[in-house]
A = this chain, B = another copy of it.
């Protein structure tokens, strides 16, 4: 029996253990491998666009993706962030709908596209995958609702602190244990926090002066996480 291999084999994919396809039976893995393709996206490229019809399920093999929507005046709002092992585009797929946000690579990324029909057949027979995706949507909803409360009740300082902590929770630190393992433009941070670029710049430089964070270009270091937590007024 020959070892089937494509761009990178799902069976040996190190990212899979973090994904919804963890614990997939070997047979399904072989099939999955047959019905997926790997795509490379350069930083800034769009994985999919708002209002487009889904072609399949996107699985991030390696990279960082932002999901964002645009308001009436064209201003962007970052809604979610995704990393290695995350799947994106499942909402539109499951509800047989168009994408209602766009996905953009924050850095060069490798993404696997699982064919739509295969995905449907997979969740049909493999409940485990389906329930994992449901759990994902549920936690997205929870996060979105928390975000709603933050936006309507917290000021820019608090939301900025929250955002920095969220970046840390999502992407972690570099080896130094301080610097965020992700870079955004100031405008992107503003689009995440829901404020203006200038306000973000002022807030970051204030945190910088307070020695709570360090700034060197786009590299942001979290020097004092407990204080950030206090600034953000989060309970846990």
A residues engaging B (CB < 8 A)?
69-73, 75, 77, 79, 91, 94-95, 97, 100-101, 124, 127, 134-135, 137-142, 144-154, 194-195, 233-235
- In the complex, A13 Cα to B73 Cα: how many Å? 46
CB neighbours (8 Å) of A145 from chain B are 69, 79, 100-101, 144
Is the Cβ of B95 less than 8 Å from the Cβ of A153?
Answer: no
Given A94-B138, A140-B141, A235-B72, verify A148-B194 contact (CB < 8 Å): yes
Residue of B nearest to A97 (CB): B138
Q: How far is the CB of A72 from chain B (nearest CB, A)?
A: 5
- In the complex, A147 Cα to B140 Cα: how many Å? 14
What secondary structure prevails in chain A residues at the interface with B? helix
CB neighbours (8 Å) of A151 from chain B are 148, 151-152, 194
Q: How far is the CB of A140 from chain B (nearest CB, A)?
A: 6
The residue among A134, A135, A194 with the most chain B CB atoms within 10 A of its own CB is A134
Given A77-B149, A91-B138, A95-B138: 6 more A-B contacts, CB < 8 Å: A77-B148, A94-B135, A95-B134, A95-B139, A140-B141, A152-B194
Q: How far is the CB of A158 from chain B (nearest CB, A)?
A: 9
Q: Give the number of copies in the complex.
A: 2
Q: How far is the CB of A4 from chain B (nearest CB, A)?
A: 31
Is the Cβ of A141 less than 8 Å from the Cβ of B144?
Answer: yes
- In the complex, A77 Cα to B127 Cα: how many Å? 35
- In the complex, A79 Cα to B141 Cα: how many Å? 11
- In the complex, A151 Cα to B154 Cα: how many Å? 12
- In the complex, A79 Cα to B73 Cα: how many Å? 24
Q: How far is the CB of A192 from chain B (nearest CB, A)?
A: 10
Residue of B nearest to A143 (CB): B144
Q: How far is the CB of A166 from chain B (nearest CB, A)?
A: 14
CB neighbours (8 Å) of A70 from chain B are 149
Q: How far is the CB of A174 from chain B (nearest CB, A)?
A: 29
Q: How far is the CB of A162 from chain B (nearest CB, A)?
A: 11
Is the Cβ of A153 less than 8 Å from the Cβ of B72?
Answer: yes
Residue of B nearest to A80 (CB): B145
CB neighbours (8 Å) of A97 from chain B are 138, 142
